[in-house]
Amino acid sequence: MCNIKCIIVEDEPLAVKVLEAYIADVPFLELTGTFKDALLATEYMRHHRPDLIFLDIHLPRLKGMAFLRTLAQPPAVIVTTAYHQYAVEGFELNITDYLLKPFAFERFLQAVNKVNAATPANMHAEKPGNDASFVFLDVQHKKVKIWFADLVYIESQREYIKVVTSKGTYLTKVGTHEMEAILPGHLFKRVHRSFIIALNKIESYSAESLEVGGVSIPIGRAYKESFEKLSR
């Protein structure tokens, strides 16, 4: 089991202390930084790549949700807040979990276990040969082998992702950022915060969207430049 490097972005000292204590009690978590606002966290992330962010919503200078939207390739995110009304918006931004303050250690552990289960080291990604690669994903209480060669696209659906292959469609509780870390970068490309596509499955594309497997997929503004370079 590998350590998950995490940071706290929180301006309430008491909330920081609670999170620090909870993190210290979980063997696979490693706290690498604590920041009282999102701008300080942004500066840190220019030079470091945490695996997980514990993020408050009501922060000075830059709010939590606005901060998330600035991240082109966000790590796993667990929102910690006293405000339940942001839950839908949070899941639209592909957060892993949403903890309402005050939360017990058991609820905290449930959230971080989701992140741990979805980390590449714990997803049993394997390469059985030079020409074949696959990953086992948890689908309806069993492990299903997904061959990279069969993958068409992946779509984020709140706490689930939809994995569309030439053999079938599967729902699994893995974040798009975890799948992106596993998939070979020369074969797959993230074109939207909610979509990863197989490059060899592209049937057509324009400046705004592309078509794979007969489905039209939008190209996000943050990904247009990198996609255009790739498609030249």
pLDDT by 10s per residue, the chain, length 232:
468 999 999 999 999 999 999 999 998 899 999 999 999 999 999 899 899 999 998 898 898 888 988 887 788 899 998 876 655 555 566 788 888 899 999 999 988 988 887 665 555 544 444 444 788 888 887 888 888 889 999 998 877 889 999 989 999 887 787 788 788 887 888 899 899 999 989 999 888 999 998 999 999 888 887 777 665 5
Residues 141 and 112 in one domain: no
Residues 139 and 116 in one domain: no
Instruction: Give the C-alpha separation, 162 to 179, whole Å.
Output: 11
Residues 97 and 161 in one domain: no
Residues 12 and 113 in one domain: yes
Which of 120, 154, 180 is a domain's end point? 120
Residues 83 and 104 in one domain: yes
Residues 108 and 134 in one domain: no
Residues 108 and 15 in one domain: yes
Strand order in the sheet with 209-212: 202-205, 209-212, 215-218
Domain CATH code at residue 47: 3.40.50.2300
Tokens at 95, concatenated: 């957060």
Number of domains within the chain: 2
Which of 97, 120, 143 is a domain's end point? 120
155 is in which domain, residue-wise? Answer: 127-231
CA dist 115 → 15, 147, 173, 209 (Å): 21, 23, 10, 30
Residues 131 and 95 in one domain: no
Please state the pTM of the whole predicted model: 0.55
CA dist 213 → 95, 120, 231 (Å): 27, 26, 18
Which of 99, 120, 141 is a domain's end point? 120
